[in-house]
Amino acid sequence: MILELLRICVIALIFYYITDAVERLVFHGLNQDKGSVWLRGLGNFALLFVCYRNWFQFKGWYKSGRNRKLSTRTTASLVIAGVILVAASASM
């Protein structure tokens, strides 16, 4: 269980590092360097949550009968909300 929590932290750090680098590159290209870090962070958290629940949790060390994917509707809603939050952060 401890190893799985450590794994989640490492996945989150790598995910945030990569998404932040890509978003900074895109926003810099659009001359939108000043953006809301909080909105980007919330959007990235929603995307990370979807990735973890639908893929990463099945690849880890901790196996449980309670592990299941998000519904298609929930996945779509969270992805759309995440993308909107990241895009909205550029206009702030």
Taking 90 as the threshold, does the pLDDT of residue 10 lie above it? yes
User: CB-side exposure of 92: number of CA atoms within 13 Å?
Assistant: 12
The predicted-structure confidence for 45-81, as pLDDT tens digits, reads as follows 999 999 999 999 888 877 888 889 999 999 999 999 9
Sign of CA dihedral 1, 9, 85, 56: negative
